[in-house]
Structure formats: structure tokens, C-alpha cells
Amino acid sequence: MNSAKEVLIKIDDAGTTNGQRKSEVNILCLDITSLSPLLQFVICSIFVFVCYLAYGYFLELIFSVPEVKPVSLYITLVQFIITMSLSYVESLIRNPIKRKVPLRTYAILAALTLGTMAFSNLALSYLNYPTQLIFKSCKLIPVMIGSIIILNKRYGLLDYVAAVIMCIGLTMFTLADSNTSPNFDIIGVIVISLALLCDAIIGNVQEKAMKQFQATNNEVVFYSYAIACVYLLVITGFSGVLTDGFTYCAKTPSTMYANILLLSVSGYMGLQAVLTLVRLCGATVAVTVTTMRKALSIVISFLLFSKPFVFQYAWSGMLVALAIYLNHYSKKNPQYVPGVILSCWHYMQSYYQSEYRYLRIKSKMYADTV
């Protein structure tokens, strides 16, 4: 009996750390719970870089062709169907999906997901991929505007500085693209701005739904994409894009559908890696990794796809990266104000007080003499 108890204690200890049971850590179906935290971070980062670099490559490969513009919704529909199927297959392997969030919430999430993906894909028919990626990195601006108008939220000084720097960098990057890209169109700026707006809203809705109803990532992904597929089937069916897109892809079916499959798989795997990274290291570390990935994606885009390069791309991109850093630094230090600005503010206050005191004395002396 004593030996049996000892065995049970040893088994129990193997699954705990300092008396607390370890939470399971997975990337898709790969269990990395037993690995060290550093190794878990490295594996997640490698997944993020490899998957999203592949995603960016296939995205630009598919949507940079001018003929794709009229049938972009059909390709988005195929992408949604594949993503939904991947989510369902993963649920069969790991845990069955049990819906906890109301369908009304999923209907809103599906519309936002559709807007984000459809507008992002369509924008590539008007803009270079680096410009599209820079716009997608500037979620801070619509989030701040919406929070101030709707929630009456207040931000720190660094947030406003980050927003101004981001606007300057974004404007300069867009101007560079308009001067160098042969297929630049102002419609692309409007379309990617709509995608950015949907992207900024969807994060808040997802976070509220997952916290309120304790829903899993897999459930949210499956139902959001499934209902979005229904929306897309109705839209493409009535507009004729469904038949036009099928006809277009039927010209080179093996190439087109293989590229869409690889696009969907790499995007799904990258998404799961980012979610795991958020659980392990927090949102700040995850955003840092994804920002570095986006910078590398821009460099690879210029190397693999022939497009003119001007130095304005580099320094305007650095401005956006600086703005992202300032924004995330302000979340850790919301009341932080640079020492130079504080010194200037204190100097102005002291100067104002001394001048005000001097004027009061002068006015009093003048009143006494009168």
C-alpha cells in the first residue's frame, strides 16, 4: 500500500509545478507543454514567422493579378470554406465544438470577419502588398477614435503622439506607393480603410464574447467563418460572382485552388500560433513578434515581387514601427510623460506664475498711485 501511494504521489507531482497543475499548451495538435518556456516561445515565434510569411506570399501571388479583381469575393469564399473546415477538423481531433455564444453575436462577428478579409483581399488589386500591410498595422487610429466618441475614453500623451506619428508615416508610405506603383488607385485606400475599421471593431467584439460566455478560440473561429460563408454564398450567388469566379478558377484549377489552399492553411496555422503566443507571453510580446514579421514580409515582398523601391518606403515604415512601439509602451506606463516635455511644462508654469505675480504687483502699484 505504501508503495502504491508513493507511485500515485509521483504521478501527481509530474503534472504539477509548485503545487499547481500546468495548463496545456498546444499549437494546433502539437503538444509543447513539457518544453521550457523559452523553447515554447521560440517554437511559437517560428510558427508565426513561417506561416505568415507564407500567407503574405500566397496572398500577393493570388490577388496582385488584375484579372482577380472582379472575382475576389469568390476566392475569399473558398478561403473561408477551407478555414472553417480546418477549424472543424481540429475540433474533431482535440475537443468537440459546443456553442456557448448566441447566434446573434456570431452573426455580427461573421459580418465583421467578412468585411475584414474581403476588403483586405480586394485592396491588393489596387495597392502594393507592403502598403496594405502598413495600413493593417495602423489599427490604433480607428480604435482611438471609436473609443473617444463611443466610450468617452481618455488616452495618455504617448497614445496621441503615437497616433500623430502613425498618421504621418501612413501618409508618406501611401504617397510613395502612389508615385511608384503602376496600379495604385485611391479606391484601394478607401477599401483598406474599411477593412481596418472592421478589424478594429472585431477584436473588441471577440474579446467581449469570449470573456462573457467562456468560449474557446476554435468555437469563435468556426462559427464566425461558417456564418460568413452563408453571407458570401448569398452575395456571390445574387451578384453572379459565384459563377464568374468558378469559371475564372477553372482555367487553371490546380494552380488556383492549390494557392488558395496553401493561403488558408498558412493563415490558419499562423492565427493559432499567435493565440498560443498571447497565452504564453502576453499581448505585448505577441504584437512585437507579429510586428517584426510584418517588417520582414515587406522586405520579402520587395525581393520576390518586382516593384520599384524608394527610400521613402523605409523611413515612413520606421515611423509606423515607432508609433506601434510608443502605443504599447504607453499601455505599460499610461501616465508617462517624457522628461523634456515635463521640464518645458514646469518652465512655462513658473514663467506664467512669475509674470502673473509681476502684473498683479504693477497693477496694485498703479492703483495706489491713482
Res. 16 pLDDT band, cuts 50 70 90: very low
Residue 83 has pLDDT above 80, yes or no: yes
Residue 246 has pLDDT above 90, yes or no: yes
- Is the CA virtual torsion 359, 360, 364, 370 positive or negative? positive
Q: What is the pLDDT of residue 8?
A: 37
pLDDT tens, 134-145?
777 666 667 666
- pLDDT, tens only, 307-345: 566 666 677 767 777 776 776 666 666 665 556 555 665
> CA of 268: how far to CAs of 38, 50, 210, 249, in Å?
24, 12, 19, 22
Angstrom CA distances, 333 to 156, 280, 325, stand at 9, 22, 12
Give the confidence band of 227 by pLDDT, cuts at 50, 70, 90. very high
Determine contact, residues 122/72, Cβ cutoff 8 Å. yes
Q: Do 183 and 124 form a contact (C-beta atoms < 8 A)?
A: no
Lowest mean pLDDT among 57-71, 75-89, 278-292: 278-292
The model's pTM is 0.68
Cell 523611413 -> residue: 315
Give 107-121 pLDDT, tens digit per residue.
Answer: 998 998 899 888 888
> Considering the chain, what is the average pLDDT of its residues?
75
Cell of 35: 518544453
Residue 32: closest CA among 21, 43, 20, 48: 43
